[in-house]
C-alpha cells in the first residue's frame, strides 16, 4: 500500500504536492490544513485521513480530530500534529506528525516516526516537502520528497 504524507499546508495546496502524491492509495495529513479546500483537493487524489493542527481553529478544519489511529494494510498508524502529543504511542507501528516543518524519518522505540515537513508556504528557509509511506513487506518504510518550488514571495508568503 502506498500512502501519501503531507502536513502544514496552511491553506496552500501546491501543484507540486499534488503531483508528488499522485498514485497514493490514501493520504494522511498531519495538521495545519488551513482551509477545507485542501482536504477537498487531496480527496481528488485518494481518500484522506487528517488531524487538526494549531492553526485549524475555524470552519470544518476545526472539527478534525486531534489524534487519529488507523489500521492500514495490517499496520497501526497514529497521526498527530505535534510529536509530543503522540507520547510513547503505545500500539502504533508508525507515527506521522507535523508542526515543526522539519522533514524527518526516524526509527525509535520500535516505531517509524515520520514528519513529511511542510508542503505549504515556505518558512524558516526549510525545504517544501511531502512524504511517502510504503506498507508492504516486513516493515513500513518511509521516504521524503523535497518539492522543487519557486521561492517567490507571492507564492510562499513572508519568511519567518
Residue 53 belongs to domain with CATH number = 3.60.21.10
Domain containing 140 equals: 2-148
| pLDDT > 80? residue 112 | yes
Give a yes or no: residue 159 inside a domain.
Answer: no
The helix/strand/coil state of 20 is helix
Q: Is residue 157 part of a domain?
A: no
In a domain, 160, yes or no: no
In a domain, 15, yes or no: yes
Q: Which residues contact 58 (CB under 8 A, 6 or more apart)?
A: none
CA pair distance 143, 153, nearest whole angstrom: 28
Nearest to 119 by CA among 106, 107, 109, 132: 132
**With bands split at pLDDT 50, 70 and 90, how would you rate the model's confidence at 125?**
confident
Range 20-42 average pLDDT? 97
What is the pLDDT confidence band of residue 156, given thresholds at 50, 70 and 90? very low
The domain tally of the chain equals 1
Enumerate the β-bridge partners of residue 32.
none
Amino acid at each position: 500500500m502506498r500512502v501519501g504524507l503531507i502536513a502544514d499546508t496552511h491553506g496552500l495546496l501546491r501543484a507540486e504536492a499534488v503531483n508528488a502524491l499522485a498514485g497514493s492509495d490514501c493520504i494522511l495529513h498531519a495538521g495545519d490544513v488551513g482551509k477545507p479546500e485542501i482536504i477537498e483537493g487531496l480527496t481528488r487524489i485518494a481518500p484522506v485521513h487528517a488531524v487538526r493542527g494549531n492553526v485549524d481553529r475555524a470552519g470544518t478544519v476545526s472539527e478534525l480530530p486531534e489524534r487519529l489511529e488507523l489500521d492500514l494494510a495490517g499496520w497501526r498508524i497514529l497521526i498527530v500534529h505535534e510529536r509530543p502529543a503522540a507520547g510513547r504511542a503505545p500500539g502504533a507501528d508508525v507515527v506521522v506528525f507535523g508542526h515543526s516543518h522539519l522533514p524527518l524519518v526516524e526509527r525509535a522505540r520500535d516505531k517509524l516516526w515520520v514528519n513529511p515537513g511542510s508542503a505549504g508556504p515556505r518558512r524558516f528557509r526549510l525545504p517544501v516537502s511531502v512524504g511517502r509511506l510504503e506498507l508492504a513487506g516486513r516493515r513500513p518504510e518511509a521516504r521524503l520528497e523535497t518539492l522543487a518550488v519557486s521561492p517567490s514571495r507571492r507564492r510562499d508568503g513572508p519568511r519567518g
